[in-house]
Amino acid sequence: MTTDNQVTQDPTSSAPTEKIVVRHKAYFLKKKDYPGLSLISFCLLLLIWELASRRQWVPPLFLPAPTAVLAEGWAMVQSGVIFKHLLASLSRVLWGFLIACSLGLVIGLLIGSFRFFEAIGNPIIAAAFPIPKIAILPLLILWLGIGEAPKVAVIVLGVFFPMVINVYTGVKNVDPLLIKAALSLGSTRTRIIRKVIFPSILPMIFAGMKLGMGIALLLVVAAEMVGADAGIGFMIMNAADLMQTKKLMVGLVMLSLLGLFFNGLFQRLERIVIPWKK
Partner 1 sequence: MRVLIEKLTKQYLDRRGLATEALEDINLVVEENEFVVVVGPSGCGKSTLLNLIAGLISPTSGQVVFEGERSRTQPQTAMVFQDFALFPWRTVYKNIVFGLEERRASLSEQRETGQKYIQMVGLQGSEQKYPHQLSGGMKQRVSIARALAMDPLLLLMDEPFSALDAQTRTLMQYELSRIWEETRKSFLYITHNIEEAVFLGDRVVVLSRRPGRILDIVDIDLPRPRGEKLSLEKAYLEYVDRIWQTIKDQAKEALEEKGDDYR
Residues that bind partner 1 (CB under 8 A): 177-178, 180-187, 191, 195-196, 199-200, 202, 274-276, 278
Asked if residues 258 and 246 have their Cβ atoms less than 8 Å apart, the reply is: no
> How far apart are alpha carbons 129 and 122 in whole angstroms?
10
- For residue 101, the minimal CB distance to partner 1 (Å) is 20
- For residue 209, the minimal CB distance to partner 1 (Å) is 18
> How far apart are alpha carbons 220 and 92 in whole angstroms?
7
- For residue 201, the minimal CB distance to partner 1 (Å) is 11
- For residue 270, the minimal CB distance to partner 1 (Å) is 13
- For residue 109, the minimal CB distance to partner 1 (Å) is 17
Of 199 and 214, nearer to partner 1 (C-beta) is: 199
Of 175 and 267, nearer to partner 1 (C-beta) is: 175
Of 199 and 259, nearer to partner 1 (C-beta) is: 199
- The gap between the terminal CA atoms of the chain, to the nearest Å, is 48
Q: Of 157, 149, 115, give the one whose Cα is nearest residue 132.
A: 157
Query: Is the torsion defined by CA of 89, 92, 95, 98 positive or negative?
Result: negative
Neighbours of 148 (CB within 10 A): 16
- For residue 274, the minimal CB distance to partner 1 (Å) is 7
Of 80 and 186, nearer to partner 1 (C-beta) is: 186
> How far apart are alpha carbons 59 and 45 in whole angstroms?
18
- For residue 92, the minimal CB distance to partner 1 (Å) is 34
Of 137 and 196, nearer to partner 1 (C-beta) is: 196
What sections of 17-80 are H helices per DSSP? 37-54, 66-79
Count of CA atoms in the C-beta half-sphere (13 A) of 191: 10
Of 36 and 275, nearer to partner 1 (C-beta) is: 275
Asked if residues 168 and 111 have their Cβ atoms less than 8 Å apart, the reply is: yes
Of 119 and 181, nearer to partner 1 (C-beta) is: 181
Largest CA distance in the chain: 97
